[in-house]
Amino acid sequence: MQPFSVASVAASCSTISTRSLASAAELDDILESSAARGSPAESLASVHALLHHISSQTKQLQEQLTACDSIPETLRADLPRLLAMCESALAILDKQLRRLHSVSPELKPDSRVLRSYARYLDIQTQIFESYKTALAR
């Protein structure tokens, strides 16, 4: 097990925040140029909102981590792993969005897959919120 590093965790938060905003920008392009209507467009909009929310949450978490005098042991153990999982999921989502956009603007995304990512991102933001609460104590 690697030792806990606030700088490393803060860098992961920054990476997640940046990647979330980049993915949201890609979704903006897809939504503007796409003929997607109905469920896929709704799913894209849902994922778009969650990407902005996760960016905000990780930015706030980063600020709290760097300002915190001490970090609870449970967060020291869980936070790097959770952030790594979130980074991986966002990398996959971002890559798929870029492929979707580059292949064909008219291609309709699978709304079930988008809903799955939306649920995952929603769970991630809830966990980040609970970590922020723990750090504020």
- pLDDT at position 15 is 95
What is the CA 135 to chain-centroid distance, rounded? 20
Tokens describing residue 7: 């700088």
Tell me the domain boundaries of the chain: 6-136
The DSSP result for 38-55, as a single string, is SHHHHHHHHHHHHHHHHH
pLDDT of residue 128: 87
Residue 113 identity (one-letter amino acid): V
Our measurement of the distance from residue 83's CA atom to the centroid of its chain's CA atoms, rounded to an integer in Å, reads 9
Q: Encode pLDDT of 88-106 as tens digits.
A: 888 888 887 777 766 655 5
Look at residues 1, 128, 120 and name the one whose alpha carbon lies nearest to residue 59.
Answer: 128
Is the pLDDT confidence value at 55 over 80? Answer: yes
Residue 106's pLDDT is what?
59
- Alpha carbons within 13 A on the beta-carbon side of 59: 11
pLDDT, position 62: 94
pLDDT in tens, 21-36: 999 998 888 777 665 5
d(CA 97, CA 34): 12
Instruction: Please indicate whether residue 134 or residue 98 has the higher confidence score (pLDDT).
Output: 134
